[in-house]
Structure 1
Amino acid sequence: MVSGSPGPGRAPGQQPPRPGSVRPTSRRLLIAIAVLGAAIGVTMVKAIESGGGVAPTVSWLTLVAWSFLAALLFVAARNTNQRLHVRRERIEPSRAVFLLMLGKASAFVGALCTGVYAGFALSFVNALGSSGPRNRVITAGVAAVISVLVVTAGLLLERACRVPEDPDETP
């Protein structure tokens, strides 16, 4: 590497990650995962219907479960942020790693599901005149929005797990 060069993937003036640190989740990666999910959703509907089957609907129970998960993640993010950044408490390293990985995994799975549900909804947009496809578009669209909330909550939880620059410094 050339002296003075920021290195691969780093902007000028940006410090290299500390040993044992985890990089923040890339927004571009999440968008790419959502686009892949949309392709999967559209392909899944077309494959089922071309085989003579009827594509499944997104149940309201799914929406309730996703909403519950998003709410839990938002609460975990808020509590973690309060403990680490407001009250400057220390938490066990294993718990911090667990919360960090939960946030990252939720962001990735939420992005994939956002795409799948959006692709599913897009598959039925052309047939909005009848009630069956309209209901599918509505429930899949709501599921996609709730999945975006899961992604957001996961990213907030990941951000809350960031260790302050000088953990020994107390306000």
Structure 2
Amino acid sequence: MTPGDTEPGRAPGDKQEPPHPGSVRPTSRRLLIAIAVLGVAVGVTLVKAIESGGGVAPAVSWLTLVAWAFLAALLFAAARNTHQRIQIRHERVEPARAVFLLMIGKASAFVGALCTGVYAGFALSFLQAVGSSGPRNRVIMAGAAAVISVLVVTAGLLLERACRIPKDPDETP
């Protein structure tokens, strides 16, 4: 591209500034969706492979739902606390702690997206036999796990967003 050209889909005056050295880009929503779609494929394939080998596909337990819900609650609490400290009260946070929280948020978003897809794949696999009680319970539990995994993704993204350093109001662009 020449200096006067713009990227496809961008207006000539809509320039995105390059990231500052040492900065981390926000997690891409498209990447999270792609990971979730990959997870659906993994979930469906896993169930079909286990059942074609004569085995019984794993079921999602209540303990799994409780553990995921607890993780989501912890992440939401961390996101709220971090937002209050950095964005509202403008407190200084140790760089190592901020990086740790940022990476926890990013990792939670990625793992939550993958698990959302896998649980949705499990639910889709048992959907055709939902008339009987066994598959119905599997669909309900896997669907609930997928929804709670979406909460983990959301909380992870909120924690990541809370770690952004606010622009200095005295600084002029």
- TM-score normalised by the shorter chain: which range applies? over 0.9
Deviation at 1:9, TM superposition (A): 10
For the residues of structure 1 that align with 2:61 and 2:9, how far apart are their CA atoms? 42
For the residues of structure 1 that align with 2:6 and 2:111, how far apart are their CA atoms? 32
What's the TM-score once normalised by structure 1's chain length? 0.93
Whether contact under 8 Å (1:124, 1:134) holds in the other structure is yes
For the residues of structure 1 that align with 2:25 and 2:119, how far apart are their CA atoms? 28
Task: Show the counterpart of 1:139.
Answer: 141
Decide which of 77, 80, 86 is 2:79's aligned counterpart.
Answer: 77
What residue ranges of structure 1 are gaps of 5+ in the alignment? none
The change in CA–CA distance for 1:30 and 1:100 in structure 2 (over 3 A counts) is: same
Task: Show the counterpart of 2:3.
Answer: 3
SS in 2 for 1:124: helix
The change in CA–CA distance for 1:86 and 1:132 in structure 2 (over 3 A counts) is: same
Task: Show the counterpart of 2:60.
Answer: 58
Deviation track 1:31-71 (CA, whole Å, cap 9, x = no partner) reads 00000000000000000000000111100000000000000
Decide which of 150, 155, 164 is 2:152's aligned counterpart.
Answer: 150
Whether contact under 8 Å (1:6, 1:14) holds in the other structure is no
Superposed, which structure 2 residues align to 1:99-114 within 5 Å? 99-114=101-116
Deviation track 1:82-139 (CA, whole Å, cap 9, x = no partner) reads 0001000010000000000000000000000000000000000000111100000000
- AA in 2 matched with 1:105: A
Matched pairs, number: 169
Please provide the CA RMSD for this pair.
Answer: 1.9
Deviation at 1:2, TM superposition (A): 2.0
Deviation at 1:15, TM superposition (A): 1.1
Deviation at 1:3, TM superposition (A): 1.5
What's the TM-score once normalised by structure 2's chain length? 0.92
Whether contact under 8 Å (1:127, 1:134) holds in the other structure is yes
Task: Show the counterpart of 2:93.
Answer: 91
The change in CA–CA distance for 1:23 and 1:9 in structure 2 (over 3 A counts) is: farther
Deviation at 1:10, TM superposition (A): 8.1
Matched-pair identity in %: 82
